[in-house]
Structure formats: C-alpha cells, structure tokens
Amino acid sequence: MTPATQSSENSQSSIETPIETFLASLSRQEIKLWLEGDRLRCSGPETVLTSELNAQLKSRKPEIIAFLRRASQQQATNQQQTTEAITVAERSQTIPLSFAQQRLWFLHQMQPNSAVYNLPMAIQVNGYLDTSAFSQSLNAIVRRHEILRTRFVTVLGEPIQQVAKPLPLEIEQKDLTEHEDSEGAVRQAAIAAAQQPFDLSQDQLLRVTLLKLSDSHSVILFTVHHIVDAGWSQEILIQELASFYRTALLGQLDSSQLDSGQLDDAKSVLPPLPIQYADFAIWQRNWLQGEVLDTQLDYWRNQLNASQSVLQLPTDFPRAMVQTYQGAVEQFSLSASLSDRLRNLAQSQSATLFMTLLAAFNVLLYRYTGETDLVVGTPIANRHRAEVEGLIGLFVNTLVLRSHLSPNNNITTLLNQEKTTTKQAYDHQ
C-alpha cells in the first residue's frame, strides 16, 4: 500500500509491546489508523512509515482491528451513557465523594492543618451596603446550594458527604472606619482569612468577613475550601449574590422564611437547580466504573508509562527539598499584531490558540533544558454536562499533556502533535 493507505508487517520486538503502548507510539508520530468496514487503513508521514514499521503493522493487523472495534464500541457506550440526564438521587443512601473531591480529601489528610487549598476572594463595594440584605442574600445561596453546607466525614475508613440543614451563616464584621491605615488593615485581614485552615469534618466550608471602611466603601472577603469550590463556581456565587441582593433590597427575601425553610429556593429570583452536587457525585461514581473506567485508565497508563524525572530548569536558586507554596505570578501581554499572527497560525492548522501557545511553551522548555519528553499540567473546567453548569462545586480537573519533541520538527508538525495530544487528553478527562 501507499503511505496514504497502508497495512503492515512485523518484527518480534513489537509483538512483545502491548497493543495500547504500540498504538500510543504511532499516534505520537502522527500515524492515524482507522477502519473502513473490515479493512484497516493507515496514513502518516512517509519518513515515519518505513518498511520496518509497515511490517509491524501487517503482523499486528488482527490486534489493531480488534482494539479499534473495542474502542469504537466503548465510545458509543460512553456517548449513550453521558447523554443520559443526571437525575436527583435518593438521599437515604450514603453520598460518596466525587473523584475530584476525593483528590482534595486525600491531600487534606496528608496536611490537615494546611491552608494551601483555601480559595480566597475579595470584593470591593463602592456605595452603601445594606448588611441585612447582604446577609439574607448569602443565606439564600447557602440554602440553594447544598455543597456550601456539606461536611466530609470518615465512615469505616471511607470519606462521605454529609449535607447539613440550612442554618444562618455567620458573617464576621470588622469596622475599620477609624483605622489609620485601612488599606494595610484590609490586606492583613485578607491574609489572615486566607491562611486560616478548615476542618473538613466540622466547619462550614464558606467563611465570609465584611470589612467596613466607610459608610460608602466596604470590602467583602470570601474564603472557601477547594473541595467545594473552583474558579467557575466563584462566578456563580457573585452572580447569584447580586440577584438575591437586589431582591432583598425590594423586601422580597424574608430572612425568617429562609431560616425556617418556607421559601421555595427563591423561584421568583432564580430558576430552581435541576440537581445538587451530591447528585452529580453519585451519578459519576455509578457511571465511571467497569469498562468505562478501564478505558480511561488504559489511556493514561499508556501516556505515562515511562518514568519521568523532575524537569531541571536553570533557575536562580536550587529547588527546595520541601515544597513551600511560596510562588509568584509573572504577568505579561503579547502585542496585538503578534496575537493576530498566532490566531492565524492556529486557524491555518485547525488548532486552538491554547494548542499553539502550548507548542510554543514546550519549545521554550526544550530550549532551556534540552529535554524532548515534556509533561505539562493544565486545568480544565470539566463541566461538559448541562445539568452542572449552574452548580457551585468542584468539577475542575488537571490534565497531563505529554509532548515528544524532535529538534528536526517544524512548527506545523509540532502543532499537529500538540493538537492530537490535547484532543486525546480532553477525550479522557
């Protein structure tokens, strides 16, 4: 066959390689395999499709066809299962942690007194703040989202979620109107709030501090543990706070009704939530098991099959033996003309701007370290279900993007590799 449509032949060494590992290696070399009926098709760079590799493909053809058929069937099953609506679960059962929550819970057990996974947020309010309406609004949000009144306890060695009944949220209030250095006082209060650890089994995992600087100037400090929150959720919190606050100012949010549970989730303010985070956690545990879970894990085992050493960047100071989490952020902007050229490059290769910048970042790492096998972590919102878009909760996941660079590759080849790597990671998020 020609390089555009090939079958193959084999060497003994490739037979010893697991089929998943063999196919992962082909994918990294931009070799694509697909089925047309019962026929195996192949395409890839002529420089890669050597006679030796063709021999391997021909010898392993039955294995490859069987693997592709299993993958196709599994993908169809996954699509069918993931399109089924997430429904409200029976709450008499034990509520498990989602997989994302389990990660955070495990890390918390290793460092129970750490504030590393506290998510602080400060909001500056210009104008008069009605503290009663503000308190009512926050309580409406806590009542609306079970996750904000969830605690994490251990039963028979396993963590579970316990959803508490709605209780008035305690808001710490500090009057800084007479303080000589109000800006410094706000900074100190923000640091203190962010560094105060949570007890996941006892505390309400949302803390709020109201700092009054004057009658027309306030700062609100929110601190929430990452196990119940993420960046997307913070936007939901602010949007709902604004909606409830406007309603409260109009006298349509009665605090006595909120506390007694008589108010029906403020239907007149916001549409009711279709599910709660606990429903998602139960659904995820039921869905992500068996063949579905095995397919996901097989991909990552193949991606991360080789040992990886810590990337040795030539920094000013040696890497500390114990992580201190005392990092910093470097911010910079790209010019409008360069940004346009990057977007044009991405579009010409049917790639995203993220994929293009990832390729550039990996080239930069290669230039500094000389390493061609690079692993980069990237967060992903992981909210690909309509039911969870409006929920406060932890859905975010960290994907591993492993790139294999070659000094001889041009930017087009590298960008296509990054495109494949990123798409596959998203498919197995």
Distance of alpha carbon 232 from alpha carbon 119, whole angstroms: 12
Which residues form the domain of 221? 95-274
How are strands ordered across the β-sheet holding 118-126?
A: 118-126, 217-225, 206-214, 171-175
Q: What angle do CA 18, 20, 25 make, to 5 degrees?
A: 100
What is the total count of domains within the chain? 3
% helix / strand / coil in the chain, to the nearest 5?
45, 15, 40
Looking at the fold, whether 406 and 350 belong to one and the same domain comes out as: yes
Share of the chain above pLDDT 90, in %: 48
> CA 359, CA 381: separation in Å to the nearest integer?
21
Strand ranges (DSSP E) for 116-272? 118-126, 150-155, 158-163, 171-175, 206-214, 217-225
Whether residue 142 sits in one domain with residue 54: no
Cα separation, 263 vs 139, in Å, equals 11
Closest to 192 measured CA to CA, from 139, 135, 122, 131:
122
Helix (H, G, I), strand (E, B) or coil at 32: strand
Co-location of 265 and 174 in the same domain: yes
Q: pLDDT digits over 152-170, tens only?
A: 999 998 999 999 999 899 9
pLDDT tier, 243 (very low <50, low <70, confident <90, very high otherwise): very high
Q: What is the pLDDT of residue 3?
A: 38
CATH number at residue 233: 3.30.559.10
- State the chain's maximal CA–CA distance in angstroms: 84
pLDDT in tens, 181-200: 989 999 999 999 999 999 99
Query: What is the per-residue pLDDT across 31-70, written as a single tens digit (0 to 9) for each?
Result: 888 888 888 988 888 888 888 888 888 888 888 888 888 7
| The pLDDT of residue 251 is above 80 | yes
Residues 192 and 218 in one domain: yes
Q: What is the mean pLDDT of the chain?
A: 86
Global pTM reads 0.74
Checking if the pLDDT of 71 tops 80, the result is: no
What is the rounded CA–CA span in Å between residue 402 and residue 375?
4
| pLDDT above 90 (res 171) | yes
User: Is there a domain that residue 20 lies in?
Assistant: yes
Whether 409 has a pLDDT exceeding 90, the answer reads no
Asked if 243 and 211 sit in the same domain, the reply is yes
Query: What's the rounded Cα separation, in Å, for the pair 10 and 17?
Result: 12
Asked, for residue 422, whether it belongs to a domain, the answer is yes
Q: What is the pLDDT of residue 14?
A: 36
Co-location of 104 and 213 in the same domain: yes
Check pLDDT > 50 for residue 271: yes
